[in-house]
Structure 1
Amino acid sequence: MIRRFNILIYSICFVMSIGMYAQKMQRPFIWVDQHDKAEILHKIKSQAWATTFYKSFKERTDHDLAQYSESPEQFLKKIPFDWDKQRKGQTPPLKQFVRFNDQNAEERFALKKTLQIGVDCGVLYFLTEDEKYAQCALDILHAFVEGISQLKPSDNTGNGGWVYPNDHLREARVIGAQMPIIYDFVASYIDIGKKAYDLGKKTKVNFSKEKAQELFKTYARLAIEHGHRGSNWPVLESFSLVGNALAVDDLEERKKLLNFYLYESSDKQDALPDVAIKYKKDGDVFPETSQYSNGVANYTTRLMILLNKYDAGLRLGSRYYKIPFSLDRWKSVRYPNGEIIRFGDGKRTFKTPYSAYEMAYALGVQDSVSKLTEKFGALLNEAISTGSYDPSHLGKRTTSAQPYWEPTRLLWLNSIPKYAYEHVELPRTDEFTHAGVFLQRNLGTAKNPKHALMCFVGGGHMVHGHASGMDMELYGLGEVLGVDNGRGSYRKDIHENYSRIFAAHNTVIVNGASQGEGGWVNLGMNSTKLLAMEPHPMQEARSPWHSFTTTRFTDDRGEKAEATQERTMAIVKTSETTGYYLDVFRSKSSLPNEFHDYLYHNIGDQLVFLNKDLKLKVDKERYQANTNIEWKQNRSYRNPGWHFFKNVQTSEPYKKDVKVQFKIKGIKKKEGSMNLFIVGNDDREYTKVMAPKTYEAPKPYGNKLTPTLVIRQQGEAWSNPFAVVYEPTFEKDAAAGVQSVKELEQDGVFKGFKVSSRINGKDITQFCVIQNDDEQYVNKEYGFSFQGHFAIITIDTANKLQDVYIGEGYLLTYKKLKVMASDSKSIKAFIDFSLPKYKMNATQNTKVDIDSE
């Protein structure tokens, strides 16, 4: 009922807009119309950035035009035609590209470049009325119309194309999106009887509008009928759908085609309302990985501007402002070195999309949306003032699979007035719930990236997601050290059978059988769920030194894992330059004969066990059971992927505490290490391996194998979980930082860590208690107790209390101190006793009793 009601409302809006549609008959009108020309020309004369941009743009196009003018025939022959299939006296059909490889890369680039030259010539014809630009654009358009019209589009509705028979998703962006723009700019030139140069007849001929119109309708139809819904796919096709719909001259046909973008989805194509529904509140992102998510917002913002120009009554920016509003959201998950957290097929590097910011600002101006103009106007002002961004810079013609829109900056953007820019610190914690991501960061007061700490726990199913389990990454020494493998080229063995499944992630594999199942390309899994966190995402922290998350994950895909898992991760800063991470991973299976493997990948040169009595032996068969099972691309995998591990060496069962060091010799021009202090347990085996290289790792580690630790627990890992303290450090001889780690336990059950550190020449001890929310831990030796989930007590060598942090709890006592809840709700508190009078930051229901001594 709701869906039908929405369609009715959209239909009413659609009917009301018919009058405006009818006015848009004189071309051009897709990017610009004749009413825009005077303003654009004035801008070129009066605004310095536009003057510079236009000069570069015209010089580049004139260089191409000179080559064309010298010999239109030789210029057009650079287009990849299939000359073997040429009929006498006709332009040859275009070559079809079934595969994409280095052998045909040059031809494919020539195809893209020629179309982009055609667009640029069309723009310059509009601005200068110089017919030499129109003739070049028309000749390019004619060659493509004639060359494509002789081909048969694929009937494969999955991803069937025309020039790219197996990849309409790519073709829609590199061909389908450009041709209607060229037509729109030269249609008036055609209408006055101008002819196009024909390669087959070697003379000028009448341009076939009939073939062109059929081509535009076909490209629109391919977008509507091919592909799939629910991902970024329909958005990537939408430039072709909308552009080709607008290129159709028949008004009724045009309206029918536009309806599939503006109002009502097809079985294969999401309309704008179904894309917009993903953005429920300000700051929401499209639920995919970084570059794909932002690509959706970027594409959609530009299309809204374009369609508003066609019909000002649509006011799409007002209705769907949350889409462009999301464009800067990914910067909030940057590590201190500027890279971003990585999950799924997301990239580590993430260049600030200033050109997309421009479009968000332009849309805000177009529809008077102050949320957009104020936000992106300020961001662009700041970027221009700091030299991070130069609007006068002409971008390169694109070789990637995206529409060509570089000239729209000149056509759509004006000088940006001054907006107040307020620098906002990134929050201590954040969340991306669609990916099950919960992150923590602590930059310290000095904000030095080399000494900052940041981590996240994540895991969730989405398009372009990985079957990662409950994954994590760790930052230290100015780089991401505890790494997710990332992704290389799609479709390859290592991507399908390692990068996108469990073994490539810092997670726990259960019974050697953890896997994805169902959902997108059969990589479906449950999402990591938040149980407890301090501070809550985007909220003020209680402590300047501490934070934590506890998350839960169900590993139940396939039939052999059937596990419940919980993970508590914490950041503990002990000074501006020192600190560590806590990781407590609990895992238990409902199946008999269970075992659990804890994986941790760290860039570096060497993994070393510092326990002299822990002996390793070569173990070539340990991870090879699934090496040759059936693999079907995007369907079934060689789970869990650890058959890619090399140089496998394993210990006998070893129950003592273990210290491990990842040596990192070439980072920030200094030697450093990631030190691991691992709480021991019965029935533990330790393995070191070399995992495949980590994509986008810092030099020199981008081409090196990744040292990786695997800890196997025979039996459950719940009452005595995997419990590790991670310390990134530049110290070579442990002169500062963590000195030792001991287990806190009660009745044989793990309760936390006792961490001893040396900070600025002084020793401190921290008791980190991690248990179920309703449990109580009592330590008679040091005279403290805690009821609740997470707390840290810091004392000096004289057992004098330095501070207390309660992430979530009800009652903490230390000697004569009592911190408690005044009601039945839990408390969160940080109390600093290092000052003459203690200082407290706590929830209102926190009560403190302390002896006057």
Structure 2
Amino acid sequence: MKLKSILLFSFMLLGLKTYCQKFERPFILVKASDRSVILDKIQTKSWAKKIHENLKIKTDIEVNKFNRNPKAYLKKLPFNWSETSNNSFPPFYKTDHVEKGKHRNLDNATDKEWKPAALLIKYLQIALDCGTMYYITQDEKYAYMASSILYSFVKSVQKSKLSDWHGRGGWLFPYDGFREVRVIGYKVPLIYDFIATYLKKGSNAFDIVQNQKVSFPIDELQNVCRTYADITINYGQTGSNHSVLEAPNLVYNALAMDDEEEREKLLSYFLTENTKNQDALPIMAKNYKNQGDIWPETSQYLNHSTEILAKLLLVINKYNPSLKLGAKYPNILFALPRLDDLVYPNNEIIRWGDGHRRQHGSYQAYENAYVLAKMDSLKYLQDKFAPLLKNALDKGKYSRKNIEALFWYDDAIYGESNKIKLPRTDRVYHAGIVLQRNVSSTGNAKDGLMGFVGGAHMVHGHAEGMNIELYGEGQVLGVDHGRKKYGKDLHENYSRIYAAHNTVIVNGSSQGEGGWVNLGINSVELIAMEPKVGGKGVSPYHSFSQTSFKDDKGEKAEAIQERTLGLIRTSPTTGYYVDVFRSKSDLPNEYHDYLYHNIGDKLIFDNKDLVFEKTPNRYMANANKKWVHNKQYRNPGWHFFKDVQTSKTYKKDVVATFHTKKLKGNSVFMQLHIPGFLNRTYTKVKAPITFEAPKPYHKLPTPTLVVRKKGEAWENPFVVVYEPYHKKEKPTIQSVAKLEQDGVYKGLEIVSKTPKEQLTQYVITQSKNQVFQNDEIYFKGSYAVISLDKNKTLKSIYVGEGEEIRFKKKIFEIDRKTNSLYIDFSK
């Protein structure tokens, strides 16, 4: 460490030490000096009164049970009496999970295995509630019960030996110390902080072994807190959300130290000092380099991580306002509502990796950020969170229920309750995601259109290739499979590898390699998009993205790929998607499989001459390949497909429809138009269930289409037009024909009949800087849509990315700055 850094750190510690001397406990979540303000809130604010009343009611029930027979009450803790000697405290039962003879973390632990831990967590929470009530009321009956539970914990936990699994495991979870500090370790210092004044004046706790009141051993409590802090400092992993998830344990146990110098040193491991097992705040904050950056994992982890960090910034800022952590790390706060920008019109989240479909931002976290922004005079952040909070409070989406609200919040949220408008396009950079949405002028979520292309490597990411999801008629129809329990065959050998995604598998061998649990893939890269992120867009009816991907993990794919996804609205209630996927391998005898999963009952083909035969062994080559947990997989995972039926080689155009008729209140359909090419075979299968799909499809197989192309799929790529519609309307698309030049695919002629008009649209989709030319059209660029009315009169021209466009010899000038254009000739 350089001298300048040492001096800076020393001054920081000196400032913290000087500040710490100004007040007594409690001071972790709330200060002793805040009590009068809190009592006033309880008297004057209905929401505060309700929080207090609810806490008092549930706590008094437990206090009454305890007072009737303290020994009997405390003996229900999960003590292992078989391992105790006379007149000594027994240890607790340990919580462990074993699969196939090996100790595993507790992700998949059974209820029976979890029972001792669950009971212990319950008792510690009761003690914490009692401590909180003592702080508010100063009634020693609450402190006595809290101290008795805490005393039993301190005495018993020290009877266990710290596990040395992975260098330093837990006391009670010997093979999952990471979880122990998250569910147990952080509670202990909070209990102590609330009742410290009671303990230090010589008050008692109940000892179940001696069957009498005894003095509380504060020095032993300090050792327990010190040890829990040490577990975080010296156990775990860096470069992931583990450091964030363990941080509350580190911060709270550091603040529990009565020795100021030790407190400051332990707290420095969160504020400044990295270890090989724990990232400090400056390292974690690098993930929020730019305004709008989010934690680089999947949805449930990214939001949770940011919420934890924002809360800790507030806790430490309240402890020492001179640190001004909100002003120092504003982008952490700015990231909190980011996930709610990534929602479909039905408010479900786009899904990538292990992410969930319904994991939204926390209004409590927003209010924490608002309080911190107010402390540090960050008006632009106050202005960001005020409308979100006001909207939620006004609409009943949010009510203050947690105890921190009583400590930290008031009614003074200044700002307007504005309607939140989401951008037309967006990106999740670490996930390679490029998103398009088109909200209907009807305001009905069922009329909205939205889709995305994405794929990248990250912790909890999937080896998914260049994947898409598509929305229509109020549902995510073209779905990503999602995930359920970690470590299971389905998760490791399907959910998080290629076959569970709407992608292209090359030579039957696309896979992840390297990186986190050997699932490393390259990132999807953006070639072009319109509108740009946050931009208005040149057309209200069109958008597009063009992306690329390199499938070069393992040794048998060796492919480059390019995907163009166009969104075209044809009326307030209708529209369609154009998906063009190019793929070619460097290897001989190449073949490519295009996969599309859609929730539904069945997939029906209109082509009567397209005959399917059962082919049960088509995808079974790797079904029994060696599988090593978190290391080696049965790629690409399509051996999970059931009821596999395949056609002969078929070169004609194909029309097929996914029927989804069991949704509550509506039947919806997704119709596919697939232009014909040589060397194509079609397979329909039943893929595993889609997790978090709407009922009843969360328990039903997922109908899936697989299109195989022998040879390259670049000059003549996979091309599919997707149109969602519901049972009360007909599909608008009447015909789809490919546009070719010298035997090479260039685009489509799509004829559709909307509720108000008939359209002919030429959709040109080619690689950047390529040229398409016929008798009427000249276009140099990636993406354009030329729309004609029923009389074949020019209605509009849209260029998403291009350099030059002519129609019937008339040249239309493209904006040289944006390379885009839209002209509506009907106005």
Aligned to 1:840: none
| Aligned match for 2:326, one of 306, 317, 326 | 317
- Structure 2 counterpart of 1:119, one-letter code: L
In structure 1, C-alpha distance between the alignment counterparts of 2:334 and 2:764, rounded to whole Å: 41
In structure 2, C-alpha distance between the alignment counterparts of 1:207 and 1:176, rounded to whole Å: 19
1:117 and 2:126 matched: yes
In structure 2, C-alpha distance between the alignment counterparts of 1:189 and 1:822, rounded to whole Å: 73
1:563 and 2:559 matched: yes
Worse-superposed segment, 551-560 or 813-822? 813-822
User: Would you say the 8 A contact 1:489–1:495 is kept in 2?
Assistant: yes
- Structure 2 counterpart of 1:15, one-letter code: L
| Aligned match for 1:191, one of 192, 195, 200 | 200
Aligned to 2:145: 136
1:260 and 2:258 matched: no
In structure 2, C-alpha distance between the alignment counterparts of 1:822 and 1:656, rounded to whole Å: 39
| Aligned match for 2:748, one of 743, 753, 759 | 753
Tell me the SS of whatever aligns to 1:297.
helix
In structure 1, C-alpha distance between the alignment counterparts of 2:612 and 2:3, rounded to whole Å: 66
The one-character-per-residue Cα deviations of 1:612-670 (angstroms, maximum 9, x if unpaired) are 11111111111111111121111111111111111111111111111111011123522
In structure 1, C-alpha distance between the alignment counterparts of 2:318 and 2:815, rounded to whole Å: 60
Aligned to 1:838: none
What displacement does 1:195 show?
Answer: 2.1
What displacement does 1:542 show?
Answer: 0.7
Aligned to 1:425: 421
The one-character-per-residue Cα deviations of 1:195-249 (angstroms, maximum 9, x if unpaired) are 2112222222222223212111111111011111111111100111111111122
In structure 2, C-alpha distance between the alignment counterparts of 1:31 and 1:683, rounded to whole Å: 67
What is the aligned-residue identity percentage?
A: 48
Q: How does 1:410-489 map to 2 (within 5 A)?
A: 410-489=406-485
- Structure 2 counterpart of 1:506, one-letter code: N
Aligned to 2:46: 48
Aligned to 1:579: 575
Tell me the SS of whatever aligns to 2:148.
helix
Aligned to 1:274: 283
In structure 2, C-alpha distance between the alignment counterparts of 1:245 and 1:307, rounded to whole Å: 11
- Structure 2 counterpart of 1:538, one-letter code: G
In structure 2, C-alpha distance between the alignment counterparts of 1:755 and 1:803, rounded to whole Å: 14
The verdict on how the C-alpha distance between 1:828 and 1:456 changes in structure 2, with shifts beyond 3 A counting, is same
1:779 and 2:774 matched: yes
User: Would you say the 8 A contact 1:7–1:263 is kept in 2?
Assistant: no
1:711 and 2:707 matched: yes
Tell me the SS of whatever aligns to 1:667.
coil
| Aligned match for 2:516, one of 515, 520, 529 | 520
User: Would you say the 8 A contact 2:146–2:191 is kept in 1?
Assistant: yes
User: Would you say the 8 A contact 1:91–1:198 is kept in 2?
Assistant: no
Aligned to 1:803: 796
In structure 2, C-alpha distance between the alignment counterparts of 1:158 and 1:291, rounded to whole Å: 28
Tell me the SS of whatever aligns to 1:475.
strand
Tell me the SS of whatever aligns to 1:466.
coil
The verdict on how the C-alpha distance between 1:303 and 1:826 changes in structure 2, with shifts beyond 3 A counting, is closer
Aligned to 2:57: 59
Aligned to 2:19: 20
Aligned to 1:832: 824
The verdict on how the C-alpha distance between 1:158 and 1:509 changes in structure 2, with shifts beyond 3 A counting, is farther
- Structure 1 counterpart of 2:188, one-letter code: M
| Aligned match for 2:692, one of 679, 691, 696 | 696
- Structure 1 counterpart of 2:782, one-letter code: H
The verdict on how the C-alpha distance between 1:793 and 1:7 changes in structure 2, with shifts beyond 3 A counting, is farther
Worse-superposed segment, 75-84 or 298-307? 75-84
Aligned to 2:182: 173
- State TM-score, norm by structure 1: 0.93
The one-character-per-residue Cα deviations of 1:238-289 (angstroms, maximum 9, x if unpaired) are 1111111111222222222111111111111010111111111222111111
What displacement does 1:70 show?
Answer: 1.9
In structure 2, C-alpha distance between the alignment counterparts of 1:7 and 1:716, rounded to whole Å: 60
In structure 2, C-alpha distance between the alignment counterparts of 1:420 and 1:759, rounded to whole Å: 40
Q: How does 1:239-250 map to 2 (within 5 A)?
A: 239-250=248-259
Tell me the SS of whatever aligns to 2:239.
coil
What displacement does 1:732 show?
Answer: 7.1
Q: How does 1:350-749 map to 2 (within 5 A)?
A: 350-391=359-400, 394=401, 406-731=402-727, 734=730, 736-749=731-744
User: Would you say the 8 A contact 2:79–2:93 is kept in 1?
Assistant: yes
Tell me the SS of whatever aligns to 1:807.
strand
In structure 2, C-alpha distance between the alignment counterparts of 1:762 and 1:430, rounded to whole Å: 31
What displacement does 1:107 show?
Answer: 3.4
User: Would you say the 8 A contact 1:546–1:571 is kept in 2?
Assistant: yes
- Structure 2 counterpart of 1:778, one-letter code: Q
1:157 and 2:166 matched: yes
The verdict on how the C-alpha distance between 1:158 and 1:373 changes in structure 2, with shifts beyond 3 A counting, is farther
The verdict on how the C-alpha distance between 1:822 and 1:486 changes in structure 2, with shifts beyond 3 A counting, is closer
1:32 and 2:24 matched: no
The one-character-per-residue Cα deviations of 1:274-329 (angstroms, maximum 9, x if unpaired) are 11111112221111111211111111111112112222221111111211221111
Tell me the SS of whatever aligns to 1:104.
helix
The verdict on how the C-alpha distance between 1:581 and 1:657 changes in structure 2, with shifts beyond 3 A counting, is same
What displacement does 1:822 show?
Answer: 7.6
In structure 1, C-alpha distance between the alignment counterparts of 2:3 and 2:652, rounded to whole Å: 65
In structure 2, C-alpha distance between the alignment counterparts of 1:785 and 1:725, rounded to whole Å: 23
In structure 2, C-alpha distance between the alignment counterparts of 1:95 and 1:679, rounded to whole Å: 64
User: Would you say the 8 A contact 2:87–2:209 is kept in 1?
Assistant: yes
The one-character-per-residue Cα deviations of 1:726-760 (angstroms, maximum 9, x if unpaired) are 011115784x5111111111101000111110112
Give the root-mean-square deviation of aligned CA atoms: 1.7
Tell me the SS of whatever aligns to 1:327.
coil
User: Would you say the 8 A contact 1:809–1:826 is kept in 2?
Assistant: no
Tell me the SS of whatever aligns to 1:791.
strand
In structure 2, C-alpha distance between the alignment counterparts of 1:44 and 1:611, rounded to whole Å: 70
Aligned length: 816
In structure 2, C-alpha distance between the alignment counterparts of 1:189 and 1:555, rounded to whole Å: 64
In structure 1, C-alpha distance between the alignment counterparts of 2:434 and 2:41, rounded to whole Å: 46
| Aligned match for 2:81, one of 73, 78, 83 | 83
User: Would you say the 8 A contact 2:78–2:93 is kept in 1?
Assistant: yes
What displacement does 1:91 show?
Answer: 2.6
| Aligned match for 1:219, one of 225, 228, 234 | 228
What displacement does 1:342 show?
Answer: 0.3
In structure 2, C-alpha distance between the alignment counterparts of 1:520 and 1:416, rounded to whole Å: 45
Worse-superposed segment, 121-130 or 723-732? 723-732
User: Would you say the 8 A contact 1:377–1:416 is kept in 2?
Assistant: no
Aligned to 2:103: none
In structure 1, C-alpha distance between the alignment counterparts of 2:528 and 2:727, rounded to whole Å: 33
In structure 2, C-alpha distance between the alignment counterparts of 1:299 and 1:638, rounded to whole Å: 36
Worse-superposed segment, 309-318 or 120-129? 309-318
The verdict on how the C-alpha distance between 1:533 and 1:269 changes in structure 2, with shifts beyond 3 A counting, is same
Structure 1 gap segments, 5+ residues each: 395-405, 836-853
In structure 1, C-alpha distance between the alignment counterparts of 2:81 and 2:570, rounded to whole Å: 71
Tell me the SS of whatever aligns to 2:72.
helix
In structure 2, C-alpha distance between the alignment counterparts of 1:699 and 1:828, rounded to whole Å: 42
- Structure 1 counterpart of 2:296, one-letter code: P
What displacement does 1:8 show?
Answer: 5.5
- Structure 1 counterpart of 2:325, one-letter code: L
The verdict on how the C-alpha distance between 1:43 and 1:812 changes in structure 2, with shifts beyond 3 A counting, is same
In structure 2, C-alpha distance between the alignment counterparts of 1:762 and 1:378, rounded to whole Å: 40
Tell me the SS of whatever aligns to 1:710.
strand
In structure 1, C-alpha distance between the alignment counterparts of 2:6 and 2:420, rounded to whole Å: 41
Worse-superposed segment, 696-705 or 14-23? 14-23
In structure 2, C-alpha distance between the alignment counterparts of 1:551 and 1:723, rounded to whole Å: 15
The one-character-per-residue Cα deviations of 1:378-404 (angstroms, maximum 9, x if unpaired) are 22122111111122xx3xxxxxxxxxx
Structure 2 gap segments, 5+ residues each: 98-108
What displacement does 1:817 show?
Answer: 2.8
Q: How does 1:201-216 map to 2 (within 5 A)?
A: 201-216=210-225
User: Would you say the 8 A contact 1:157–1:225 is kept in 2?
Assistant: no
In structure 1, C-alpha distance between the alignment counterparts of 2:420 and 2:304, rounded to whole Å: 24
